[in-house]
Amino acid sequence: MTEEEIRTAYLEELSRVAPDIDPETVGDDDHIQDDLELDSMDVLNLVTALHERTGVDIPEKDYPQIATVALAVGYLKAKIK
């Protein structure tokens, strides 16, 4: 997956978990909990969706590394084989 494909996948899954979020308005450094107000169940649903879509099983200790679009793109790019 290219960085752009990862970004698209992340934003699509994010707006599926929280349908009121318009992907167009999500900034690269918006924090999914502090800025976008996802709760722990939303974060788990996002991680589950990213696992199904990219095959990357994100362990709990790495949750902070997918907390923004910019972080997630870098993290997933390195993990996707």
Would you tell me which residues interact with another protein (CB under 8 A)?
A: 18-20, 33, 37, 39-41, 44-45, 47-48, 50-52, 57-60
Q: Which residue, 18 or 71, has its beta carbon nearer to another protein? A: 18
Rounded CA-CA distance 61/7 in Å is 21
Separation CA 42–CA 17 (nearest Å): 6
What's the gap between Cα 45 and its chain centre?
10
Q: Which is nearer to another protein, 2 or 79 (CB)?
A: 79
CB of 27 to another protein, least distance (A): 18
Q: How far is the CB of 74 from another protein (least distance, A)?
A: 20
CB of 13 to another protein, least distance (A): 12
Nearby residues of 28 by Cβ (< 8 Å), 6 or more positions away = 68, 69, 70
